[in-house]
Structure 1
Amino acid sequence: MSDTDATARFTVLAREVALPLRRYVARRVDPASVDDVVSDVFLVLWRRLSDVPAEDPLPWTYAVARGCLANRRRSAARHLRLVDRLARSRTKSPSPGEGPGEHADVHAALAGLRELDREIVMLWAWEGLPPKEIAAVTGLTANAVSIRLHRAKKELARRIGKTGPIGGQIPDEERRPR
């Protein structure tokens, strides 16, 4: 299908489904989110234009909207978990012997890393993210994250003066919920 044909088909499709789609979405999210979800649906429709049935495309469009709404709910849930975790970490009382100067050697060693390597280490150690998810955050490949993390841990160990690897496994109770 040529670009002109695709544009014409999408224009007709958009006119046909826009109003019912908007109503469908408006009944399921807050008014401020309607435009965002509708635009997400239209993006999927454009990308998968050849998959949209020519006859009665509205049910297919609703299925796409349902998926976009589910993605939005999952994103909101992750956001709330993060806010909750941050709030708990700020109100959590320090462990015995843990004060502001505690682990100064680790903080100094972290400060000596390149910014991206420091972010990767902190996402791994403090947020409990595996390399694949760190890759999504940083825009690197999972392999590049693994390599950078390995090198950064070795550099931290060298800076702190330890011979063994830094970190290891994060206890399950401290890992980010999946």
Structure 2
Amino acid sequence: MTEEEARRKQRARFEGLAHVVAAPLHRYLLRRARPDLVDDILAETMLVLWRRIDDVPGAGTDSVPEPDDVLPWCYGVARGCLSNARRADGRRLRLMERLIRTQEARPPAGDTDHSDLHAALDTLAALDREVLQLWAWEGLAPRQIADVTGMTSNAVSIRLHRAKKKLAAQLGRKDTDRSGHRTGEGRSSQ
């Protein structure tokens, strides 16, 4: 059997499966999910069925399988897709709530001007800026930043150190004299 024939057979098997299970799965999802999510979850379910057509019990070589043979397994796939959609919806809701809380906690825009900071950040290379922002704004340690960026912890530490130095230089906050110390203090001239 050629590859083209195998694809045609697989497509025919899937079309027969879809013909049998689409309506029952749609009803199943209508009873369990918000109406605006049903079509997306059904589409995700059908995609999983397409990818795993060889795993569907009862979806043998016949073009139209018996509903009693395939529906229980397909309901299980739909249930998994529904769970994924609910988790994703929960994550989106938590993110929106967090963004709203963050926005409410911010001082009014007119009170502080950070344009010099943003201009200085824009002079940094993209990866340097990302590492610095993850450290300063998200409060991540170099080990955690390494997980985010895919770099090693050591590379992150070096990049972070250099980025902080560049940012300080851009902002003009690099003091040559250290407060509380006199030049030459603690050193012998001999």
Match of 1:157 among 164, 179, 183: 164
Is the deviation greater in 112-121 or in 9-18? 112-121
Note the alpha carbon deviations across 1:96-127, whole angstroms, 9 max, x for none.
xxx6246954x444222344654565466545
Residue 58 (structure 2) pairs with residue 54 (structure 1): yes
Deviation of 1:29 after TM superposition, in Å, equals 1.4
Note the alpha carbon deviations across 1:44-94, whole angstroms, 9 max, x for none.
001111111116111111111111111111111111111111111111155
Is the deviation greater in 107-116 or in 72-81? 107-116
CA distance in 2, matches of 1:126, 1:5: 54
CA distance in 1, matches of 2:16, 2:154: 49
Which residue number in structure 2 is paired with residue 166 of structure 1? none
Change (3 A) 1:51 1:153: same
Q: What is the TM-score normalised by the length of structure 2?
A: 0.64
CA RMSD, 1 decimal: 3.3
Letter in 2 for 1:47: R
- Taking the TM superposition and a 5 Å limit, the aligned residue runs for 1:9-48 are 9-48=13-52
Letter in 2 for 1:158: K
Which residue number in structure 1 is paired with residue 93 of structure 2? 80
Where 1:29 maps in the other structure, the secondary structure is coil
**Does the 8 Å contact 1:45/1:52 carry over to 2?**
yes
Q: What is the TM-score normalised by the length of structure 1?
A: 0.67
**Does the 8 Å contact 1:45/1:61 carry over to 2?**
yes
What are structure 1's unaligned runs of at least 5 residues? 135-141, 163-178
Which residue number in structure 2 is paired with residue 143 of structure 1? 150
Residue 104 (structure 2) pairs with residue 113 (structure 1): no
Letter in 2 for 1:33: L
**Does the 8 Å contact 2:121/2:167 carry over to 1?**
no
Which entry has the higher C-alpha Rg, 1 or 2?
A: 2
Change (3 A) 1:33 1:100: same
- Taking the TM superposition and a 5 Å limit, the aligned residue runs for 1:81-100 are 81-92=94-105, 94=107, 100=112
Count of residue correspondences: 150
Deviation of 1:154 after TM superposition, in Å, equals 3.6
CA distance in 1, matches of 2:78, 2:25: 8
Is the deviation greater in 84-93 or in 146-155? 146-155
| Aligned-residue identity in percent | 43
